Amino acid sequence: MILGDENNNKQNKKTNGAIKPVELEAIELELDRTYEKNIRPKTFDDYIGQNSIKETLKITIEAAKKRNVQLDHILLYGPPGLGKTTLANIIANECNVSIKITSAPALERPRDIIGILMSLKEGEILFIDEIHRLNKIAEEILYPAMEDYTIDLTTGKSQTVKTMRVPVQKFTLIGATTKAGALSGPLRDRFGVIHRLEFYTNEELSRVIKRSAKILNIKINDEGADEIAKRARCTPRIANRLIKRASDWALVKGDGIITKQTASDALDALNIDKEGLDTTDRELLSLIIKNYNGGPVGVETLAVALGEDIRTVEDVVEPYLLQAGFLNRTQRGRCVTQKAYEHLGINKNKNGQMGLF
């Protein structure tokens, strides 16, 4: 079945006749805007995957409604791109309340966090992304706010310093992090609900892709969606980005329909291989093999050699390599697996590296 065929959309019209670069740019811009606005699921029913989290959250929300109490604070953690922000928006939508979205690096000064807490409306959701990056002072301001909806304001200087306890509206904090382990104990303990988002299966991703394609009026068949899904690192955000690239390719090089072949050609051109690994992934694996005999090697060393910062290597590059079985994390550092040797076509025996794992 070809999705996106049903509407006579602008993009289809553009395929009639030659396409000038300016027109392509306009299509791209239009896609970007539509993308942000439309493809994000707004309800649990629209949201594909993370089934057990969804079911538990539905019950938590329903119970809070029945008891007529404020929803507990929620911590969502897991690799980037799996839908933590999307889930927070859905929770707000399902609770019929508004949401204020910020991230820990934007709450650097005490007045930043105080300002946002004091601006909250009754029942509102406060979403703090990268919550593991909150500084100590901001954390301490947050504790009483989370516990009994108050904040301690200090006035005056040194000897004349006074603390005033002031109320804030009841709210639910949703914290998101790629690193639950980096959260301080006291902060973690103040969340009543903690969920880890899992990587998506190819089947789930394929459904995400077909849903997004339909909304964006992009024509794609089942095999095209499966091909993108296989190369999207089990991550919806990446899958949605790749649809766009494959759609460009189909428009310019094909007949506008994303098939297995167009998807494969488009992703090959982007250096995204059959396992979804990109240039940085392959560089990291071959670096460990060629320079460190397969490992172990510290992440700091790898980051310097790749010219990336440690946080990017740890939070963005490594999680999928670990999940897909190309890399192992040991106490002494990172080691590649046999699968990595095979994928890169490097023979471990010839290099005399047997028995390293």
Q: Report the half-sphere exposure of 237 (CA within 13 A, side-chain side).
A: 10
CB of 56 to ligand ADE, least distance (A): 16
Q: How far apart are CA 56 and CA 74, in angstroms?
A: 12
240/353 with CB nearer ligand ADE: 240
CA–CA distances in Å: residue 91 to residues 63, 64, 236:
13, 12, 19
Q: Is 175 among the residues that bind ligand ADE (CB under 6 A)? A: no
188/211 with CB nearer ligand ADE: 211
Q: Is 232 among the residues that bind ligand ADE (CB under 6 A)? A: no
Q: Is 79 among the residues that bind ligand ADE (CB under 6 A)? A: no
What lies within 8 Å, CB to CB, of 81 at 6+ separation is 235, 236, 237, 238
CB of 251 to ligand ADE, least distance (A): 22
Q: Is 233 among the residues that bind ligand ADE (CB under 6 A)? A: no
CA–CA distances in Å: residue 92 to residues 100, 208, 212, 238, 357:
10, 21, 22, 24, 47
Phi first, then psi, for residue 298 (nearest 5°) are -75, 150
Stretch that binds ligand ADE, among 134-142, 208-216, 250-258, 304-312 (CB under 6 A): 208-216
Report the greatest alpha carbon distance in the chain: 78
Q: Is 176 among the residues that bind ligand ADE (CB under 6 A)? A: no
Q: Is 199 among the residues that bind ligand ADE (CB under 6 A)? A: no
CB of 283 to ligand ADE, least distance (A): 28
Per the document, the length of the chain is 357
Q: Is 242 among the residues that bind ligand ADE (CB under 6 A)? A: no
What lies within 8 Å, CB to CB, of 56 at 6+ separation is 193, 195
CB of 240 to ligand ADE, least distance (A): 6
Q: Which of 132, 188, 210, 211 binds ligand ADE (CB under 6 A)?
A: 211
Q: Is 76 among the residues that bind ligand ADE (CB under 6 A)? A: no
Q: Is 295 among the residues that bind ligand ADE (CB under 6 A)? A: no
Q: Is 10 helix (H, G, I), strand (E, B) or coil?
A: helix
Query: Residue 29: in which H helix or E strand, if any?
Result: helix 21-38
Q: Is 296 among the residues that bind ligand ADE (CB under 6 A)? A: no
Total residues in contact with ligand ADE, by rule CB under 6 A: 12
CB of 86 to ligand ADE, least distance (A): 6
CB of 207 to ligand ADE, least distance (A): 7
List b or e across 65-103, with b for residues whose CB sees 16 or more CB atoms inside 10 angstroms: eeeeebbbbbbbbbbbbbbbbbbbbbbbbbbebebbbee
Q: Is 49 among the residues that bind ligand ADE (CB under 6 A)? A: yes
47/77 with CB nearer ligand ADE: 47
Q: Is 236 among the residues that bind ligand ADE (CB under 6 A)? A: yes
Residues 83 and 200 sit within 8 Å (Cβ to Cβ): no
46/122 with CB nearer ligand ADE: 46
Q: Is 81 among the residues that bind ligand ADE (CB under 6 A)? A: no
Alpha-carbon torsion (301, 302, 308, 314), positive or negative: negative
Stretch that binds ligand ADE, among 58-66, 205-213, 223-231, 251-259 (CB under 6 A): 205-213
54/179 with CB nearer ligand ADE: 54
Residues 139 and 184 sit within 8 Å (Cβ to Cβ): yes
Q: Is residue 194 classed exposed, middle or buried when 0-12, 13-18 and 19+ CB atoms within 10 A define those classes?
A: middle
Q: Is 237 a catalytic residue?
A: yes
CB of 44 to ligand ADE, least distance (A): 10
Q: How far apart are CA 285 and CA 270, in angstroms?
A: 19
Residues with catalytic function: 84-85, 129, 178, 237
Which positions touch ligand ADE (CB under 6 A)? 39, 41, 47-49, 83, 86, 208, 211-212, 236, 240
